Chains A and B, each alone.
Chain A
Amino acid sequence: MNFRIIRTLLKKEITDIFRDTKTIIIMIVVPLVLYPLLFLGTMLLTSNIIKESTVKTYNVAIVSSTEEDYAFVESLLKEALDTHQYHFDISKFPTDEDYEKSLRNEKYQGIISIKTLEDDYPDFEVYTLTSSNKSSTCKGMIDQVLKDYKEKIIDEKLKDAIADYDALTADPFEIDHKDYSSKEETTGMLIGYIMPFMMIISVLMGAFTVAIDVSVGEKERGTLETLITLPIRNSEMMISKFLAVSIFALFSVTINLLSFTLMGIYIYNSMSLAKTLMGGFKFTQFIPSIILMAAVMILFSFFVSALCLCVDFTAKSVKEANNMTTPLMLILMTGAGVTVIPGVKLTSLKALIPILNVSLLIKDLFMLKFDPYMIAIVFFSTLIHTMIAIFVMTKIFSSEDILFGEGVKGVRIFEKRANMKEKQIPEIGDIIFVFALMFLISTFAGGYVILRFGFAGYAVSQLIIFAVPVLYAWYMKTDFINVFSIKKPRINELVGAVLFFAGTYILVTLLVSWVSALLPSILESNEQLSGIVSSGGFVASLFVIGIMPAFAEEAAFRGFLYGTLKNKKIPILVTMIITALVFAAYHMNLLQFIYVSVMGMIMSYMIYNSKSIFVTCLFHLLNNSFSVILQFNPQIINKIQFLGKSEFSLSDNFLYLGISIAILTLAFFISDRKVGFFKIKKSEN
């Protein structure tokens, strides 16, 4: 890597882009001019609308048989000018006209017909046209006037009937409001709603056009071939392009932030309303928020830039790149928009989800919530996402493929199915793509479905986990038998799976007791899950929790993931460990991560040994179903002492650990193909 070359190329990219007037207009003029104009325009418009609705006069006609009644209703309506600032233009309804017609042609917004009854208060008929905005407002106003009149009558009646009316209706107690939220917090809440969206959009505005320009744009203009006649390495070219995109993303963020600040200062200085709202307001309070936001935006810009380049390097033309980046843009904007939904808070789980974590963190920062734990998780996970994106980008980027368009080898989904070779093995890029897709769908869509439909949603998310890898594998014409390890299992391996389940179950129970003794807080987060589990009834739970994951999760992890990795030049032990860890991480829960890693390792061994996915399916099925059965039949727990325990004495610990190891060893010797009781001779294998 030669830094002089990177620097020169970077300088070239930046100069080139700055000389493109189109880009500059999008990046500088739009935020500096259009935003304030839009904002001020909206403000003027809303204040006008408010003014208009109060000042507007409504034409109301009165239908009455006597002059007296007319005068009475007129006085009622005129009173409303003082009490409610209602402006009515009152007139007599002409006898020769039709009610509906006169409402429809907007001569009147309301018609009041009065009927005098002997010895009683009059009755009213109110005619309006609520499909018209103005008439609808008028109806509300007339209703208010008549309601006031009604209350006045009742008041008078009560006063006549009850002697100590005034004493009875006096306020029995007083309420004194005291609000602890500071002015900074109130303002911060407002900024916190707008800022994440603005930041993410500004990164997009910077990165999108530039990423297309430096990748397919260069290719289309024919300068990419010139560029690669130079003695530069692929990595140098890629880094300079990546840095150029990131710099422009950050530049765009800075410009937007500047525009926002200037606008804020202008509003603060010019509007009396803002001053009364934020009098004695200290901007300095937000300095840590801004610094932290800037830091996270730098990382995030890298992330988005790498993401955009990943897409754009695979496109064949600028038009195609635009088409391909649009879905990406929508995902990013959805993530940014989520902050506006009330009740969506930054949790340790959401802190792991790309885009969402950054927008929620920015919101929290401006609400002056500084949780070091959350900040650390968001930074760390964004760093990981960025590294993954950059890694994928380096895999995709190869100048020869980009230039002479042999298509991308990393991710096959972008090729037409008809062009796929038969019996393919997926690439690492495919795995990342499939798992990113699964993750996105199951967190964004699945999460929503679970919240909305509870138990049924859980089934849907399992279907997604099954469908994504299997459909992807079908699309790229994967060698299903090889990758998904489809093979008839041997009897001894199935017996082994049952024993493995028993041994693992005891081991996991012990593990949970040890972990919860060390970290008691860890158990709390685990309680939530059982709520969903038990809400569906026994048979449904058994199906959705016990049986579905046994196939869905096996297809994804022991199938697509393990099956692909085992075909690569990776030591098999590493493949087994990766599969176990990814499977554990997928559960997104620290306690589960610990014991599922152990379980995952045993499952990795089982698939490695038997080369049949049905063995691990059986194991998974037994394990999940047993939990469901216990949940619904607590009497079993009472019968078997071990199951009910969450703490063990030292001797029990040794006893059960011994039993567990014994069962696992037995299972191993029953199953293993090389050294077991039913080992297969080399000639047969």
Chain B
Amino acid sequence: MIRVCNISKTFLRNIDKNASEKKGFARKTKEEFYAVNNVSFEAKNGEILGILGPNGAGKTTLLRMLASLMTPNEGSVEIYDSNGTIMEKAVDKKKHIGYLSGNTKLYNRFSTREMLRILADVYGISDEDAEKRIGFIEDVLEMHSFMDNRIEKLSTGQTQRANIARCLIHTPDIYIFDEPTLGLDVISSDAIVNFMKKEKESGKTVLYSTHYMEEAQYLCDNIFMIYKGKQIAYGTPEELMESTGTANLRDTFKKLIGMEAGSDEL
């Protein structure tokens, strides 16, 4: 289970002072802005939480903070293991999280099997257990044909499966997937969707962000919508559709974003 309490993250952004006046040299200065602004939610065991938002809304920053890759400027991220014990240190939190995003690239010069062995070693899994686990993952993700090829030789779909295998090696309690089906064909993306469903049924927590609304509507127990770093909606897909009076999540999304964008202009 994961609980997020009022987290915020600020960055410095380059802005060009003279750009608007169109004179002199470009004088760049930095300006502080909120990538994530005071956000709270929670995801229980056996729940899939969908995190939706347009590009640049702060999804990736939010997920990075959840995975303890970044530290929030304010607020806290509470991670509980399957027994309900809270994890204090970032190192312990990471042991219970499987994080996947478009930015987590794999070591090209290793084969999937070699990579998994190294990871098992880092997680402190014994050689014997690691072999069993690797065999299991190989079966689940149907990776037999390319386990021993170097990752640089794999196709996009195979690389994505290898990347998921990376998240599974330590049997985490929480999965955090940042657009896991992006750019994949129907078969590969279905495999990943099915995988998330199966993990949910076995009592794991799954958080994932996507741009595919149909997929989210079908898969998620709860939806958290973020725009310009702020929460704009939080609830089950049904609740959200009802509150906006729309028939599907795609329209809900459009309406909510449109409303926010409209209110900005006022």
- Which residues on A are within 8 Å of B, measured CB to CB? 4-5, 8-9, 11-12, 15-16, 19-20, 221-223, 225-226, 228-233, 400, 403-404, 406-407, 416, 418-419
Which single member of A5, A11, A407, A418 contacts B29 (CB below 8 Å)? A418
Q: A400-B71, A418-B28 are in contact. Are A223 and B107 (CB under 8 A)?
A: yes
Q: Is the CB of B103 within 8 A of A222?
A: yes
Q: Mark B55-91, 1 if CB is under 8 A from A, else 0.
A: 0000000001001011100000000000000000001
Q: Is B108 an interface residue (CB 8 A)?
A: yes
Q: Give 18 pairs: A residue, B residue, CB < 8 Å, sorted on A.
A: A5-B122, A8-B118, A8-B121, A8-B122, A9-B122, A12-B118, A15-B110, A16-B110, A225-B69, A225-B103, A225-B104, A225-B105, A226-B106, A230-B119, A232-B91, A233-B91, A404-B70, A418-B27
* Per-position 1/0 for B89-117, Cβ under 8 A of A: 00110110101010111111110001000
The answer to whether A223 touches B106 (Cβ under 8 A) is yes
Indicate whether B11 reaches chain A with its CB closer than 8 angstroms: yes
Q: How far is the CA of A4 from the CA of B97 in the complex (A)?
A: 21
Q: How far is the CA of A180 from the CA of B95 in the complex (A)?
A: 70
B-side contacts of A11, CB under 8 Å: 118
Task: Give the residues in chain A near B92, CB-CB below 8 Å.
Answer: 231
Contact of B122 among A221, A231, A404, A419 (CB under 8 A): A231
Interchain CB contact (< 8 A) of A221 among B91, B105, B118: B105
From known contacts A4-B121, A9-B122, A232-B91, infer whether A226 and B69 are also in contact, taking CB-CB under 8 Å: no
Q: How far is the CB of A410 from chain B (nearest CB, A)?
A: 17
List the A residue with the shortest CB-CB distance to B17: A418
Q: Given A229-B67, A231-B95, A419-B30, are A222 and B104 also a contact pair (CB < 8 Å)?
A: yes
> Which residues from A are CB-within-8-Å of B204?
none
Q: How far is the CA of A85 from the CA of B104 in the complex (A)?
A: 75
Q: A16-B107, A223-B105 are in contact. Are A229 and B121 (CB under 8 A)?
A: no
Residues of chain A contacted by B105 (CB below 8 angstroms): 221-223, 225-226
Is the beta-carbon distance between A232 and B122 smaller than 8 angstroms? Answer: yes
CA distance A54 to B119 in the complex (A): 69
Question: Which residue on chain A has the smallest CB distance to residue B92?
Answer: A231
CB–CB A419/B29 < 8 A: yes
* A-B CB proximity, top 9 nearest: A222-B105, A19-B109, A231-B94, A226-B104, A8-B121, A229-B99, A231-B91, A231-B95, A225-B103
Q: Is B33 an interface residue (CB 8 A)?
A: no
Which of chain B's residues have a CB closer than 8 A to the CB of A407? 12
- Which residues of B have CB within 8 Å of A8? 118, 121-122
Task: Report the bound CA distance from A229 to B108 in whole Å.
Answer: 17
Task: Render B123-144 as a binary contact track against A, CB cut-off 8 A, 1 for contact.
Answer: 1100000000000000000000
CA distance A221 to B103 in the complex (A): 9
| Any A CB within 8 A of the CB of B166 | yes
The interface residues of chain A lying within 8 Å CB-to-CB of B12 are 406-407
Establish whether residues A226 and B166, one from each chain, have CB atoms under 8 Å apart when the complex forms.
yes
When distances are taken between beta carbons in the complex, the residues of chain A under 8 Å from B108 are 221
CB distance from B192 to the nearest CB of A (A): 18
Cβ-defined contact, A419 with B124, below 8 A: no
Give every chain B residue within 8 A of A223 (Cβ-Cβ): 105-107
B104's partner among A9, A229, A232, A416 (CB-CB below 8 A) is: A229
Contact A229:B95 (CB < 8 A) given known A221-B105, A221-B108, A406-B12: no
- Interface-central residue, A5, A11, A229, by most chain B CB under 10 Å: A229
B26 to chain A, nearest CB (A): 10
A16–B92 Cα distance when bound, in Å, is 27
A232 to chain B: which residues have CB within 8 Å?
Answer: 91, 122
Give A611 to B123 CA distance when docked, in angstroms. 54
Rounded to whole angstroms, the CA-CA distance of A225 and B63 in the bound complex is 13
> A528 CA to B110 CA in the complex, in Å?
62
Contact (Cβ within 8 A) A400 B103: no
Smallest Cβ distance from A233 to chain B, in angstroms? 6
Question: How far does the Cβ of B130 sit from chain A's closest Cβ, in whole Å?
Answer: 12
- CB pair B28 A419 closer than 8 Å: yes
Please measure, in the bound complex, the distance between the C-alpha atom of A418 and the C-alpha atom of B29, giving whole angstroms. 6
| CA–CA, A221 and B104, complex, Å | 9
Q: Is the CB of A229 within 8 A of B69?
A: yes
Residue of B at shortest CB range from A11?
B118
Residues of B within 8 Å of A229, CB to CB, are 67, 69, 94, 97, 99, 104
Q: Is the CB of A230 within 8 A of B122?
A: yes
Per the bound structure, the CA–CA distance linking A407 and B70 in Å amounts to 15
CA distance A233 to B89 in the complex (A): 10
CB contacts (< 8 Å) of A419 on chain B: these are 28-30
CB-CB < 8 A to A416: which residues of B?
28
Instruction: Report Cα–Cα, A233/B108, bound state, in Å.
Output: 24
Across the interface, do B110 and A400 meet the contact criterion of CB distance under 8 Å?
no
Interchain CB contact under 8 A, A230 and B110? no
How far, in whole Å, are A404 and B13 apart by their CA atoms in the complex? 12
Tell which of B30, B71, B114 has the most Cβ of chain A within 10 Å.
Answer: B30
A91 vs chain B, min Cβ distance (A):
70
Residues of B within 8 A of A403 (CB): 69
- Residues on A with beta carbons closer than 8 Å to the beta carbon of B99: 229
User: Known: A406-B12, A416-B28. Is A20-B109 also a contact (CB below 8 A)?
Assistant: yes
In the complex, A16→B64 CA distance in Å? 26
Q: Which of chain A's residues have a CB closer than 8 A to the CB of B107? A: 12, 16, 223, 226
Which interface residue of A15, A16, A225, A226 has the most chain B CB atoms within 10 A? A226
Say whether B109 contacts A16, CB under 8 Å. Answer: yes
Of all chain B residues, the one with the shortest Cβ separation from A415 is B30
Closest chain A CB from B238 CB (angstroms)? 33
Q: How far is the CA of A222 from the CA of B103 in the complex (A)?
A: 6
Complex Cα distance, B12 from A19, in Å, reads: 38
Name which of B97, B121, B122 has the most chain A CB atoms within 10 A of its CB.
B122
A8 to B, closest residue via Cβ:
B121
Supplied contacts A226-B166, A418-B27, 10 more A-B pairs, CB within 8 Å: A11-B118, A225-B105, A228-B69, A229-B69, A229-B97, A230-B94, A231-B91, A400-B70, A404-B70, A406-B11
Q: Say whether A230 contacts B123, CB under 8 Å.
A: yes
Q: Which residues of A contact B94 (CB under 8 A)?
A: 229-231
Q: How far is the CB of B137 from chain A (nearest CB, A)?
A: 17
Inside 8 A of B95's CB, which chain A residues have their CB? 231
| Smallest CB gap from A2: residue in B | B124
The interface residues of chain A lying within 8 Å CB-to-CB of B103 are 222, 225
Task: Please measure, in the bound complex, the distance between the C-alpha atom of A245 and the C-alpha atom of B101, giving whole angstroms.
Answer: 29
Q: Which residues of A contact B123 (CB under 8 A)?
A: 230-231
A640 to B: closest C-beta gap in Å: 61
Q: Tell me the minimal C-beta distance from A218 to chain B in angstroms.
A: 9
Q: Measured between C-beta atoms, what is the minimum distance from B126 to chain A in Å?
A: 11
Q: Which residues of B contact A15 (CB under 8 A)?
A: 109-110, 114
Q: Which residue of A lies closest to B120 (CB)?
A: A8
Q: What distance in Å separates the Cβ of A415 from its nearest Cβ neighbour in chain B?
A: 9
Inter-chain contacts of B28 with A (CB < 8 A): 416, 418-419
Residues of B within 8 A of A418 (CB): 27-29
Complexed CA–CA distance, A647 and B101 (Å): 78
| Closest B residue to A21 using CB positions | B109
* Chain B proximity of A424: nearest CB distance (Å): 14
Q: For residue B98, which residue of chain A has the nearest CB?
A: A229
Chain B residues, Cβ within 8 Å of A233:
91
Residue of A nearest to B102 (CB): A222
The distance in angstroms between the C-alpha atoms of A12 and B122, with both chains bound, is 11
CA distance A555 to B99 in the complex (A): 51
Q: Which of A16, A20, A225, A404 has the most CB of B within 10 A?
A: A225
